[in-house]
Structure 1
Amino acid sequence: MQTKPAARRLTGIDAARGVALFGMMSTHVLPLYVAGTSDASWTALLFSGRASGLFAVVAGIGLALLTGGRSPHRDATLSADRSGIAVRAVIIALIGLVLGGVETNIAIILFHYGVLFLVALPFVGLRLRSLAAWAAGWLVLAPAAAYLLRPVVASAVEPASLGANPIFEHFLVPQTLAADVFLTGYYPVLQWLGFILVGLAIGRLDLRRLPVQLGLLGAGLVAAVGARLLSAWLLGPGGGLAAILRTPDGARYPLEAMLDVGLAGVDQSGSWWWLAVSAPHSGSTLDLVHVSGCAGAVIALCLVLTRHYPQALLPLSAPGAMTLTLYSLHVCVMSWADQLVPLPDPVQLLWLQVIAAVAIGILFQRFRSRGPLELLTSGAANAAREGRADARR
């Protein structure tokens, strides 16, 4: 979750990571539907699907900065980078497996996050143009591949999905675990690798230059709005919504109400028109493009606002510099809170966690320290990187 500290850390990237952290916390705590209605709440409209997607895009930027930024490392240095990233990925995945055993309703992202790091290893040495081409192709083709593969996996693997967060015991059913992580689960790696590739491409830009920041902001807004408008046209005048309402799960669920909240758990089969939706967690091309555009715009805005005053977004950048620790703490707090009788007020519970996260982040920054899980992952990753470099001398 962290990049190797640089002489001048881009606090705007930390701030964007902080936005992702608080956005995910909001979707975990606050209701996604307005009480007594099928209308999406402001939490869903702002953060559902977008916060976790932003988290993944920023991860890709971190990998790019870790492997040379605008000038990707080569040869022995790149091999050492990959060793460090692999160790980091394994530790994050292990933390995710531990948290998976905690009693919670949260779809924990960390195991998938670690797998994404491993899958991204072949791409971390590529330059901007190659990464941009890979990212564009992946956003277009991966959802179509997933649409074709899901029925095959569903018929070959029983069950095809874990129905829960990955835990150590799931390695006893490797086919189901692999199907869930790569294709049928909440954060399918097949499509979500697109977010990492987008982040890698963004990280190859000169992110300190104002024209680059403004260009990223404009491109992000165009992509985000354009994807939504195209989806609305395809589903409306194009006839797509009527077609998917005739599919088994389209007829079973209140689909129109879910399009603003998320399609996780919905079997998107029976019609190619499912690829025309842009709903959160649908994994369609238009969803991936919309979320990538939103992420690019948020990252650019954070970079612009911290351009001359690095501490301008301190309540976001301080906790954003230690998200692995704070995210894990949040999962544990929610597991405890969900067992209280009566349940705590969700708004108060969210603000208490946000204030605590900001305070903890600022405190660690003032002591020039990192979060405990960040120290663990970066320490192990740096040791692996240096060990690989020494072995090649």
Structure 2
Amino acid sequence: MIIYQLTDLIVFFSLLASLLLLGMRKNVTHFLSLMTLLYCYYDWIYLQLKDATHYEMVFFSGYTKEIAIYILISALLIKSIKIKKNFLRVALSLMIILVASVIGISSQGFSDFIIGFNSYIPMLLLLFILRVLRREIDITKYLHVVIIAVIIPNVCYSIYQYLYYTRLENFWFYDAFIHSGFALNEWDYFRGDSVRVFGFFSNTLSLTFFCFFTLLGILTYLRLGRFIFAALTIAPMLLSGTRTVFISLFLYFALIFIYKVNIPRKLKAYLYFGTWISAFLSTIFIILTFSSEESSLGRVVQWNDAIKELMSNPLGHGIGYAGVGLTIWPDSNVIAFIYMAGVIALFITLYIIYAYSKKLSFSDNLSFLFIILSLFVAMYQNVSPTIMLPIIALGINKRILNYTLNSKLTSN
């Protein structure tokens, strides 16, 4: 046990120092690459370590990534608020979070507030502050790291799971989940007789939408091996049995078509916004008309409940009401924010979609497209920190490309 403890401390301090040093650089390629690897393999490494040590040891190195993010966010927020042109935007954002926090602590208690805050806020703040400070990323290098270190191993493992996993007891995390008291429901992991693959992740949807946003980066920015890499990322998406991901992919192609077509820019802004709204409403219509599965209909029910909640509690319940193990844990980040911040959350969501649609039409900066697309996914899915990492990589304002895409893409 002493060997485990010493190794754990060495890994903790080594990773923390690396993440902080890389995170303070202007180019955050290596920081996001390392953070992505840590999140993608966290469950697979630490659940098995806990099982191997009979759950008698706390591994501090498992919390390195969260500690690093909180330290970096604090340091970068202080840096950004000192810049005059950023002051109003940063101060207003922090004020909204502060008000929701005060409401949450007073009504839900401090422990629930911490859980709710950690469930939704840190990754959003990280994306926000990296955009405010105009950090840059070598997006092709990041994508290659993800493809080699995450996508290919998970594709291989997912195929193995699809062929050989027939019951919950086959899952690599079964013993750890049962020991920890986590629910393992067959309808979450099986569709008919086929397993909904999850690779080295412990959640089907996390793998599916991680692959989805990686696919968007591949289709947009890679040239060499694009179709092979795209096929690799699509494989787990198909094996997962998740339908919403393909609706989101259709929306991506629709937005890219608008991006490339030669029409007046003002018209483009309305088309981006209108296409997004139409896709959201069409998804609800398709679910109500053609689906009989509880998992699909449940999302519509959750939106119906959220609208009722919005009318009865327009200011929300504060941070700490929605999240893992809290009063409610919806299948949508946007719904969770509505429960926490009410009409403010709904207004901010719609404002970002409209404002970024307008900015996309006039600046040709594709980071705006990926952010409004991620908001569409967040309307129907719980976007975990693992899924957020490729979103952050695609959402950074300035990207370094290793070749010339075309005149539009290099002007981002």
Q: Same fold (TM over 0.5)?
A: no
- Compare the two structures and name the one with the higher helix fraction: 2
TM-score (norm. length: structure 1) = 0.28
